[in-house]
Each structure stands twice: as C-alpha cells, then as structure tokens.
C-alpha cells in the first residue's frame, strides 16, 4: 500500500477545463467539464498551482508546497485528505 | 383567454391572459404609464385560469400558468388575482430568463450608478428601494436585478413594488394614495399592497446603470455596518440567483467580475431613518 501510494501521480484537471478567479482568501473555480462552481481556500489553490498537468507524487508535492508556500505544518496525511477532496470534485485526477 | 393585457417592464415584455376581467382591469390601471412590448411580441406569457370551469364563478380560484409553471403552486382567490399575475410574471423571469443573470435584489440608481440591495425576505429590500425612490433615487426594481454578462451593467426591471405587512404603512405615510394598488389581505405572504413606480422610473426604465455598491440590509437590529468580503458576496449572490446554474460559465464570469469590482457592505437598522442614513453613508464611502 505504502509503495503504491508513493508512486501515484496527481494531476490538475486540464487547464482549459478550469476558470479560476481569486476573490480573497478564497478562489472561485468554474469546472467546465461538470459546470460546477467550487469555492476553494488554502491549500487547494496552491495545490492546483503546484501540481500542473504534468503530475507529481504526493511526496514531491509536499516538498514543493513546503518550499514555495512555507507550509511548515504540512503533513502527508492532511495532504492526502485535501487531494482526495480535490479528486472527488474532478479538479485533480490520479494516475 | 377572454381577457388580455400586455406590458413591457424594462427589457422584458409580458402578455397576461385571464379568465376574469378583474385582474386585467387592475393591471391596466396600475401599469397605465408603461409601454407595450417592442413589436408587440412578448418574451413571456402568463395565464390566469380557473382550476375547473365552474370555478370561474363559484368561489372563483385563480391558477397561475404560462410558459413556465410550478406544478405544486396553490391557486389564489379571485380577490388576489393581481397578486397571481405578479407572481406569474416573477415565475416566468425566475425560470425562463436566460439573457441576464437574475439576482433577487432591489436596485436604485443615482448619477448613473446603481445600488443593489439583497437579502432574505423581510430584510427590507423592497421597502428601502421604495423609500429611496421618494428621496431622489431612480427605482430600477424591487425584486430582480438583471446583470448583463456582456457589459457588466444592471438593467432595470421596475415592476410594481410589492410592499408587505408593516412596510405598507411606512411607505404610505410618504407617498400619495393614487400610487397604490388594492390592499390584498390574507395572501400566502401576509398583507400585500402594490406601489407604482414614479413616472421618471418608468420613463427611464430601458437605461442600464453600472453597479457601484452592494448592500445586505437587515431590519430589526441596532445600527451596525461591516464590509463583506468578495467570497461571501459571491456565495450569497449565487444563492440569491434563480438562474446562476443555468447560465453556466457566463454566470460565473458575470458574478466574479461583479464581486471583485464592486464594494459590499452589510447594514443593520432598527427603523427607516437609520436605514436611509446608513445607505447614504455607505454610498458616500463606496
């Protein structure tokens, strides 16, 4: 399980399928594929911005978030929860 | 239908057909200063009809029909036929309007800029709009703000202002009696009396205005005011819209542009004087 988990790549939904507007501490995201509007807050916008479409493992993502956004309390389990939520919305996919 | 009436309200044309003469006669009186739909072609049709043929005369009860209907809507007694017509017109807009993002809000305008007021039923948005219209503001509408996704401007929809319960006396104390419709008691929303917009509001109803301030009024509290963050405005306005989902990305773009470019304040007020003072203060500070 741990091994498989480490190799899973997370990808942001195709950039052309999203419209992201930064409002304040929240961002509004229109997902063209589903026609659904999402309101997301930290660390979800940062996760989307970091993942990109190329894809990234959870460990690599955690490193980048900690470096780029000074998320000192970043934690693999919490990150997994946030990623699972984003996967459920369709804004992130697992490969 | 035996009796017909048509009217243009802002950019929208309606035709109302009725089994009875009385509601049509009231509409003709109250909307006498309004133009007819452009080219005579209405956007929406409302029908007021008897639930059963004999119910035209025996305890007459008015069913609301039209291009769009709510199947579970209960009929109203004939004495409330005018209310049925107004509800039918609102229903067509709420369910059928696709040209504009529809927001449940009242709108007034001054110097070409629009003030939008939204909130739950009873917050006072209709009353405030009526009172402001008696103080030099142009009434653009008491029920729906029509946000144009192409231009970001608000279009007027100045139908009759629907005053409820205690707000009837509040507005009646300041406006002439010939601006009011009949007193409708015992309606599903309590006592209702319609207030006719002034001649200026009707004559200028095709002129849109740029939104400049969004207010969330709350009646019944000590005076207070606070800024409302764009994300909270966004959430509240998606909830206050009847067609946000139907408009898809056009609605998303229009609403995000609105909330990121227009300031928003929540104001609490205990009475009319406080409400007017707070609106003016928020307007001056926008």
Tens of pLDDT, residues B227-241: 999 999 999 999 999
Q: State the DSSP string of A63-90.
A: HHHHHHH--TT--HHHHHHHHHHHHHHT
Chain B CB contacts of A26 below 8 Å: 231, 234
The residue among B48, B75, B96 that closes a domain is B96
B129 and B69, same structural domain?
A: no
Average pLDDT over residues B72-98: 90
Chain A CB contacts of B259 below 8 Å: 23
Judged by CB atoms within 8 Å, which residues 218-257 of B form the interface with A? 229-231, 234-235, 238, 245, 248-249, 252-253, 256
B42 and B151, same structural domain?
A: no
B59 and B75, same structural domain?
A: yes
The residue among B96, B127, B147 that closes a domain is B96
B70 and B92, same structural domain?
A: yes
pLDDT digits (tens, 9 = 90+) for B123-163: 789 999 999 999 999 999 999 999 999 999 999 999 999 99
Which residue ranges make up each domain of chain A? 2-90
At B182, the pLDDT band (50, 70, 90 cuts) reads very high
Q: Are B213 and B115 in contact (CB under 8 A)?
A: yes
Q: Would you give the DSSP letter of residue B241?
A: B
Nearest to A24 among B230, B238, B253 (CB): B230
- Distance between CA atoms of residues B136 and B131, nearest Å: 9
The residue among B49, B68, B96 that closes a domain is B96
**What is the distance in angstroms between the Cα of A42 and the nearest Cα belonging to chain B?**
14
Q: Domain span at residue B20?
A: 3-96
ipTM of the complex: 0.87
- The size of the A-B interface in CB pairs under 8 A is 35
pLDDT digits (tens, 9 = 90+) for A39-86: 999 889 999 999 988 889 999 999 999 888 876 666 888 899 999 999
B144 and B89, same structural domain?
A: no
CATH of the domain at B141: 3.40.50
Angle of CA points B194, B198, B202, to nearest 5°: 100
Chain B CB contacts of A35 below 8 Å: 245, 248-249
CB-based contacts of B155, cutoff 8 Å, min separation 6: B10, B11, B100, B140, B146, B147, B148, B208
Nearest to A37 among B252, B259, B260 (CB): B252
Number of domains in chain B: 2
B78 and B136, same structural domain?
A: no
Quick one: pLDDT at residue A5? 67
Tokens 């807050």 belong to residue: A41
B272 and B139, same structural domain?
A: yes
Angle of CA points B139, B145, B151, to nearest 5°: 105
- Distance between CA atoms of residues B262 and B282, nearest Å: 12
Structure token digits, residue A87 = 């996967």
- Determine the 3-state secondary structure of B182 from DSSP: strand
B113 and B40, same structural domain?
A: no
Strands (E), chain B: 3-9, 12-18, 44-50, 61-66, 76-77, 101-104, 106-110, 113-117, 138-141, 144-147, 154-155, 161-164, 180-187, 190-195, 210-219, 224-227, 264-269
How much of chain B is in helix, strand and coil states, percent to nearest 5?
35, 35, 35
Domain A2-90 has CATH 3.90.930: yes
B12 and B51, same structural domain?
A: yes
Within 13 A of B16's CA, how many CA atoms are on the CB side?
A: 32
């Amino acid at each position: 399980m741990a091994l498989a988990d480490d190799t899973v790549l997370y990808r942001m939904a195709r950039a052309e399928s999203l419209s992201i507007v930064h409002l304040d501490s929240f961002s509004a995201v229109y997902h063209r594929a589903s026609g659904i509007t999402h309101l997301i807050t930290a660390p979800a916008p940062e996760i989307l911005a970091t993942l990109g479409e190329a894809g990234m493992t959870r460990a690599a993502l955690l490193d980048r978030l900690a470096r780029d956004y000074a998320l000192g309390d970043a934690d693999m389990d919490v990150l997994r929860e946030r990623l699972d939520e984003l996967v459920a919305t369709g804004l992130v996919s697992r490969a | 239908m035996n009796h017909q009436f048509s009217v243009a309200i802002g950019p929208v044309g309606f035709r109302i057909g009725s089994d009875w003469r009385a509601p049509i006669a009231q509409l003709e009186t109250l909307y006498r200063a309004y133009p007819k739909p452009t080219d005579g072609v209405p956007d929406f049709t409302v029908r007021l009809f008897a639930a059963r043929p004999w119910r035209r005369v025996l305890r007459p009860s008015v069913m609301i029909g039209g291009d769009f209907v709510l199947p579970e809507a209960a009929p109203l007694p004939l004495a409330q036929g005018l209310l049925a017509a107004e509800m039918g017109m609102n229903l067509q807009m709420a369910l059928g309007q696709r040209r504009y993002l529809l927001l449940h809000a009242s709108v007034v305008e001054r110097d070409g800029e629009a003030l939008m007021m939204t909130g739950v039923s009873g917050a006072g948005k209709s009353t405030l709009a009526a009172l402001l219209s008696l103080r030099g503001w142009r009434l653009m509408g008491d029920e729906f703000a029509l946000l144009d996704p192409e231009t970001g401007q608000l279009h007027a929809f100045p139908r009759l202002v629907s005053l409820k319960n205690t707000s009837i006396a509040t507005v009646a104390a300041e406006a002439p009696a010939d601006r009011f419709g009949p007193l409708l008691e015992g309606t599903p929303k309590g006592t209702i009396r319609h207030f006719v917009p002034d001649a200026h509001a009707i004559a200028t109803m095709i002129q849109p205005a740029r939104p400049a301030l969004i207010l969330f009024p709350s009646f019944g509290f000590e005076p207070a005011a606070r800024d409302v963050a764009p994300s909270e405005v966004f959430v509240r306005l998606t909830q206050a819209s009847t067609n946000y989902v139907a408009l898809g990305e056009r609605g998303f773009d229009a609403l995000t542009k609105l909330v990121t470019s227009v300031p928003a304040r929540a104001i609490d007020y205990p009475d009319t004087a406080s409400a007017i003072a707070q609106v003016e203060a928020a307007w001056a500070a926008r």
